[in-house]
Amino acid sequence: METLTLKPFSVMPSIKCGWRSLSTLSKVSMRVVACSGALKPSISTERVSSSSVVVRAAESVVLAPPNGKSDEIAVKSLVPYVDMDEDGGIGIVKFLRGKVFFITGATGFLGKVLIEKILRTAPDVGKIYVLIKAKDEEAAAERLKNDIINTQLFKCLRQIHGKYYMSFMMSKLIPVVGNVCESDVGLHVDFSHLIANDVDVIVNSAANTTFDERYDVAIDINTKGPSNLMEFAKKCSKLKLFLQISTAYVNGQRQGRIMEKPFCKELDVESEMKLAFEDNGMGQNMKELGLQRAKRYGWQDTYVFTKAMGEMVIDEMRGEVPVAIIRPSVIESTFKDPFPGWMEGNRMMDPIVLYYGKGQLTGFLVDPNGVIDVVPADMVVNATLAAMARHGRAPRPSMNIYHVASSVANPLVFHRLADLLHQHYDSSPCLDVDGTPIRVPSMKLFDSVDDFSNHLWQDAARRCASTPDGKLSKKLEAICKKTVEQLKHLADIYQPYTFFNGRFDNSNVQGLMEIMSEEEKREFGFDVESIDWKDYITNVHIPGLRRHVMKGKRGFN
């Protein structure tokens, strides 16, 4: 096995983000407007075949803030662009060949899957500049090695290249110190110029995904980050595409079928940023401020609100820069590529899955007939690469939106998910500290906060009665109380999603699939209709969660 020394770019130390750097957003000042004739489509959880999905008229849809008043927003119509490769299909591999990438958020879950797919399917790609937040170049190189190169996700590449794996990876991946929160994304001026003259595609995957994050922290990364990156993108002489990884939930608490369209008019983003940064130091109040501002304008929480503002900033600033925005729903473990079930960290539905498997959660607050919109990470990446190849060669700049989601094409209903969880743990139970299987009952679903809260305390009382003397020790009692409070908090944070009545139309995504060659569909497939939820949940996702996230921890062996 060869030993190589990582040689990242030498970059000057980062400078702490400051409010004054928001000057680039001076023009991003828009106001809330009411759109007449808002469309409220009916909700359906029926499967829709690809041949029957059509773009429906939805020029405006409704945001429904909890105060009962409706501030409505308009969305722009998109002009489709169709480009067929001369050899058939979109020409994904051909597009990737020789291209130079600049990727933020590459050490995150989805960023890693994206890099792995590019390097495995297009080994003759140019370079991939990886922006890493680190104190210096040595620390950045160490993070690249530990968080990307040495992770299990890349085992297929390791097998392909054998003893040359490290040299291959370091010939492609260039770690650079930087921070999306800063002007020029924290790059030293010399290397800023170097990358600006070299890069073909910018991918912004950096994000803070905490639902109730401090308002200033979330805005810094999710709103100001895209602004700084777009400012840098406009300096790139050969840039072919700016690709933003967003979330389908930037659409807020809309009802019915939600189309793949950008915002046309929205709130005063600059004022929101001033509000967040002028009030810094508020501590816990900053968390409350973020949730208050989000709910005031019809978003579920601080995360999706600040991501939505990030999209608004991109659209306002882009000018002649071609833009594609990928809006995935709830991203979970890989479907099959590079292997089934890989994941990292607890995703959205995973705390519920884990608590239930350990016997600590026997019910949850959710609309039993509602839909949880789940999509595997590798399908998100494949759709991203297809959109990249399609729009990276467009003859004119435009902004295109893609919902990578399942709620319209292949909905997974909550009561069905609950049944699948029970089936898995009934046949493959977790073990307690003594090695005894933990038997779990069928999960109860509650559509009332009071009923759910009562259930949690009754469940705790049941566990108390199961002790020899029918009483809990003070330590165990404190643990049960803490668990109940954690579950109530989890249900409160998730409630806007577990009772969400919007369904994400994916007509643009299906349009991509229709122009792909059969070979591309096999290598870069993202057809959510092909997912068998029973097989995916019970045989892929939960085993992957236990293997890659819990990693044999007590109770999950």
Active site residues: 303, 307
Cα-Cα-Cα-Cα dihedral of 438, 442, 443, 447, to 10°? Answer: -160
Residue 177 · residue 14 · CB < 8 Å: yes
Give the residue ranges of DSSP H helices in 469-536.
Answer: 474-498, 507-514, 518-523, 533-535
Helix residue ranges per DSSP H, 173-321: 189-196, 215-222, 224-233, 269-278, 284-296, 302-317
Dihedral sign computed on CA atoms, order 479, 484, 488, 494: positive
Q: How far does Cα 228 stand from its chain's mean position?
A: 20
Q: Give the DSSP H or E segment for 101.
A: strand 101-104
Cα separation, 557 vs 541, whole angstroms: 15
The span from the CA of 82 to the CA of 79, in Å, is: 10
- Sequence-distant (6+) residues with CB within 8 A of 170 are 4, 6, 7
DSSP per residue over 129-152, as a string?
A: EEEE--SSHHHHHHHHIIIIITSG
* Distance of alpha carbon 499 from alpha carbon 47, whole angstroms: 20
CA angle 33–35–41, rounded 5-degree value: 135
- Exposure of 36 by Cβ count < 10 A (0-12 exposed, 13-18 middle, 19+ buried)? exposed
Q: Where are the alpha helices (DSSP H) in 7-91?
A: none
Burial (CB count <10 Å: 0-12, 13-18, 19+), residue 545: buried
Output the six-digit token pair for 553.
């921890």
Sign of the four-CA dihedral 88, 92, 96, 101: positive
**Three-state SS at 371:** strand
Q: Are 289 and 282 in contact (CB under 8 A)?
A: yes
Q: What's the CA gap between 547 and 539, in Å, rounded?
A: 12
Q: Which of 268, 222, 168, 157 is nearest to 17 (CA)?
A: 222
Provide the residue type at 287 as one letter: K
